[in-house]
Amino acid sequence: MNVPATAKAPVPLKGGWPLLGHTVPFVRDTLGLLERTHDECGMVGTFRLVNKDIALFSGPAAHEAVFRAPDEQLSPNAAYKMMVPVFGKGVVYDCEPARMGEQLGMLRPALQGRRMKFYGDIVAAETRQALEPWGDDGVADLYGFAQQLTNYTSSHCLLGTEFRNEMSAEFAQVYHDLERGIVPVGYIHPYLPIPAFKRRDRARARLGEMVGEIVARRRASGFRGEDFLQTLMESAYADGSRLTDHEIAGMLIAAMFAGHHTSGSTTAWTILELLRDGRFLAEVVEEIDRVFPPGEEVSLDLKTMRELEKTEWAVKEALRLHPPLFILLREAQEDLELAGYRIRKGTWVAVSPWVAHRDSEVFRDATTYDPRRFDETRAEDAQPFAYIAFGGGRHKCLGNAFALLQIKTIVAILLRQYRFELYGDELADDFGSLVIGPKMPCRVRYTRREHGA
């Protein structure tokens, strides 16, 4: 791209060290550094991590420029290359833009309207089963509970009933080894011969075999599931060729990774914030009781999804304050002009939902949990590219409807069955992993409600 001479240089953040740049403050307090870049540098500010320049784009217009740029200019692949050994060679971030677009497009039919009822029933059944050991009262760590539950719900909806019923224990082990293979050194060298990476590679190979077994069995028996696995088995590229078992496994892993902790974190934060705030909780409980009167089982479809409007605001507000993916990255493939700024080839371009959602020019009392900001009279998320918990533009989350269905179902069942109060743990975000969730323990005390069957 010819960069116009009028393009401005991004404002560099002060205080970088020789060689290391801003690496130390980034590691110590990532969000503090991002917020400082926004506050001190404005719309586009840069900082340096060892040998990488990061340009942080802030504000709706800047987000839009990043999210709409073609992959040939701003590529997610280089920035997410540590995921390649996890998803597998030739899968998603290891593909040229056109092939990656085709692969991601194959997930779409599995995320469409009529499938939602099927997933809603699975999520509701899994949630009831997970609550069986709870009894009438007790104490539970909400994030631990939500993570385990969303692992079951996601694997059941994505991988199918065979995985859930027959391979649950082995899948949990394999998935755990894959997750533990995502460590910061992977950003620099994802193939170092370290134990975590060796375990990751063994786990990836085994998961490929497990998917292969199920695919072969389904093909032989003629059984057709309504899960993602079935959708992928029936998908084809534009040239008519089918996905290999390796590619199917890789895309299922990608969908699991995209949706599991993100949904678990949001489920936990929704309840924790409703309890901490107190004011909105009664309205949400009243809404759930109205949509699902005593004696009627909670099970969401497109109609009841719409009716649980305040519950949805509560979830969206938890996502606003605690976006599980707090930084989204692309790598500039050439020198280019973006939102009026000159960006050099090789720079990592970043958008931060965390910083975006704390912008007081966009959100009133930005740090306060206030689900009413989504009410149509305020509609603070109406401005395009202002609310970006699910990203935006060409790589906007494909699973947002599924995620909301899943989280709303779990929240509705929990609040229908139990009355909760905070246990007294400090509530804070834990930035120790790629997907941020509430710091554990984040316990709640629960008591069964009278009609909470």
Q: Does 178 bind ligand HEM (CB under 6 A)?
A: no
| Cα(452)–Cα(144) distance, integer angstroms | 22
Q: Does 76 bind ligand HEM (CB under 6 A)?
A: yes
Which distant-in-sequence residues (6+ apart) come within 8 Å of 31 by Cβ?
Answer: 326, 354, 355, 431
Residue 397 contacts ligand HEM per CB under 6 A: yes
Site for ligand HEM in 303-322 (CB under 6 A): 319
Among 158, 159, 118, smallest CA distance to 302 is for: 118
Verify binding: residue 149, ligand HEM, rule CB under 6 A: no
Q: Is 104 in the site for ligand HEM (CB under 6 A)?
A: yes
- Residue 403 lies near ligand HEM (rule: CB under 6 A): yes
Tell me the CB-side half-sphere exposure of residue 289, using CA atoms within 13 A: 15
SS3 389: coil
Binding of ligand HEM by 390 (CB under 6 A): yes
Binding of ligand HEM by 399 (CB under 6 A): yes
Residue 120 near ligand HEM by CB under 6 A: no
Within residues 223-282, the interface with ligand HEM by CB under 6 A covers: 255, 258-259, 262-263, 266
Query: Which of 197, 429 has the CB closer to ligand HEM?
Result: 429
- Output 208 or 391, the one with its CB closest to ligand HEM: 391
Contacts of 418 (CB under 8 A, 6+ apart): 134, 446, 447, 448, 449, 452
Pairing of strands 74-75, 44-49: unpaired
Helices marked H in 222-308? 228-233, 245-277, 281-291, 302-307
Strand-strand pairing, 348-351 and 52-57: parallel
Residue 81 within binding range of ligand HEM, rule CB under 6 A: no
**183 Cα distance to chain centroid:** 18
**Contact status: 417 vs ligand HEM (CB under 6 A):** no
Angle, alpha carbons 30-32-37 (nearest 5°): 95
Stretch that binds ligand HEM, among 44-52, 182-190, 239-247, 397-405 (CB under 6 A): 397-405
Q: Applying CB under 6 A, which of residues 117, 180, 218, 395 lies at the interface with ligand HEM?
A: 395
| CB distance 263 to 150 below 8 Å | yes
Q: Which residue is nearest to ligand HEM (CB)?
A: 399
The verdict on 215 binding ligand HEM (CB under 6 A) reads no
One residue of 106, 107, 167, 291 binding ligand HEM per CB under 6 A: 107
Residues that bind ligand HEM (CB under 6 A): 76, 104, 107, 255, 258-259, 262-263, 266, 319, 324-325, 328, 389-391, 395, 397-399, 402-403
